[in-house]
Amino acid sequence: MSFGGKLAHRQLGETDLHLPTLGIGGAMFGGLFATAPRRVSMSTIDRAIAAGVTYFDTAPYYGLGRSERVIGDGIRRHPHILSTKVGRVLVPGMAENAATMGWPDPLPFHPFFDYSYDGIMRSYEASMHRTGLDKLEILLVHDIGEVTHGPEANAKHMQDLKGGIKALQELKATGAISAMGLGVNETAICMELMQQADWDVFLLAGRYTLLEQESLGDLLPACLARKTSIVLGGPFNSGILVGGETWNYQTAPQDILTRVTALKATCTEFGVELPAAALQFPLAHPAVTSVIPGMRNPVELEGIIRWISASIPQEFWQALKDKELLHPDAPTPLGNPYYEQEMDDA
């Protein structure tokens, strides 16, 4: 699979890691909402690596171990960067409610939350075994915050996380990991925890997209000041920006549908594919290092490569601002600095 160019790379925080501007979110390889045949997942991973997409994100929660296992098998013999998550520990025994979690074909484990020192260390060691790798480059605290837990339970988890942060700092100091961060769906917890540790990266799902730019006012400038990188998950807001009907994993409300209709109309006016704009827009902000959409198969991978490598005229972005479809202060791409086109020798 050749795409006539290569992905640009950006430094992650102040670490020695440099991530490609496009990575892969691994929830689909865990079978999110639909069974993920192993051979299809492995073929997708092989083709992604061949195309220069060498950054993968996963979590114990994705398929209750299935995603970590598949991705580990797929990347083991190739140069790669992997992020996985801590905060949920898997214990043997089939989770009776796995399907309601979104995993129709999970491995036989069930998860429980543990953000303590021992919980983070236990989760890290288990991920090493499931992936079969000799190093996990990035560890992210998964789903801490009131959105997931509610105020009362989150207060308890935040107390436990004081020990968990020490575990992450020890793992980084010894070289067991190269970077530590959060993997969350909300900005408030990033702002709060920014005061408690030096984080290299926040993997933020869906909170800086064509549909949501509130983080321009607080989180993104704070990340620039502290040299904390953003990896943007969910650039399609769970599907609505790539032809789907869901927004943040629920039926899209009318105001979102109206906004998407207006975005599509402007895309048609300028000959731009909406998913291409959705992938490229977040990367214009200097705090954003990489975007990591999910994908199920090589066909979806090929589409994503096409979108990240597309040329989008500057007039398109200005039109979005003129129509008040983008925040007036949102940085917009100048050309395509995310994908370096190969030049002819002549």
Query: In this predicted model, what pLDDT tens digit does every residue of 242-301 receive, in sequence order?
Result: 998 899 888 999 999 999 999 999 999 999 999 999 999 999 999 999 999 999 999 999
* 5-341 classified as CATH 3.30.70.120: no
Helical (H) or strand (E) element with 266 = helix 254-270
Least confident range from 100-114, 156-170, 238-252, 317-331: namely 238-252
**Which helix or strand (DSSP H or E) is residue 1 part of?**
none
At which residue do the structure tokens 């949102």 appear? 330
Catalytic residue among 6, 46, 55, 57: 57
Partnered with residue 110 across adjacent β-strands are 91
- 215-220: which pairs have CB atoms within 8 A and are 24 or more residues apart? 215/187, 216/285, 216/327, 216/329, 216/330, 218/187, 218/191, 219/187, 219/190, 219/191, 220/285, 220/287
Over residues 179-202, the mean pLDDT reads: 98
Q: CA quadruple 76, 81, 82, 86: dihedral positive or negative? A: positive
pLDDT exceeds 90 at position 1: no
Packing angle, helices 146-173 and 117-131, rounded to 10 = 80
**pLDDT on residue 342:** 53
Active site (annotated) includes residue 162: no
CB distance 145 to 154 below 8 Å: yes
Band of the pLDDT at 341, cuts 50, 70, 90? Answer: low
pLDDT at position 99 is 93
Catalytic residue from among 61, 85, 143, 338: 85
| Helix or strand run (H / E) with residue 88 | strand 88-92
Predicted model pTM: 0.95
Residue 85: active-site member: yes
pLDDT at 36 exceeding the cut of 60: yes
* Domain extent listing, the chain: 5-341
Q: Is 218 a catalytic residue?
A: no
Q: pLDDT at position 4, please?
A: 62
Given the residues 6, 55, 61, 62, select the one marked as catalytic.
62
> In whole numbers, what is the pLDDT of the chain averaged over residues?
95
The two tokens of residue 149 are 């837990």
Residue 337 in this model has a pLDDT that exceeds 60: yes
